[in-house]
């Protein structure tokens, strides 16, 4: 239909890190330089969604393609200390 807007949904892995001064920092490894922050996890999530949207709009405006997805793994290792 003419004038109908089609949107698609993309998913990105987001890493949240507690900031030493309080609040949280959020970043998207697949989108270099895309990061935000918030006083709470909920605020950090809201802010990173906005940052992702602006990042994608900038790619579109500059006719650039989406960077390839990066596989990010996180784990916990145990080490002996003396």
Quick: pLDDT tens for 4-38: 556 788 889 999 999 999 999 999 999 999 999 99
Best CA proximity match to 37, nearest among 53, 55, 56, 51: 51
Domains of the chain, CATH where assigned: 10-82 (3.30.160.250)
Query: pLDDT > 90: what percent of the chain?
Result: 72
pTM: 0.79
Coil, helix or strand for 12?
Answer: coil
Residue with tokens 């003396």: 82
CA-based R_g, the chain, Å: 17
Best CA proximity match to 12, nearest among 43, 55, 41, 42: 55
Residue 65 has which token pair? 């393609």
């Amino acid at each position: 239909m003419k004038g109908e807007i089609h949107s698609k949904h993309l998913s990105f892995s987001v890493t949240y890190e507690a900031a030493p001064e309080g609040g949280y920092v959020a970043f998207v490894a697949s989108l270099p330089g895309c990061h935000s922050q918030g006083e709470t996890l909920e605020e950090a999530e809201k802010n990173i969604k906005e940052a992702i949207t602006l990042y994608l709009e900038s790619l579109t405006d500059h006719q650039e393609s989406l960077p390839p997805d990066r596989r990010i793994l996180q784990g916990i290792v145990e080490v002996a200390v003396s």
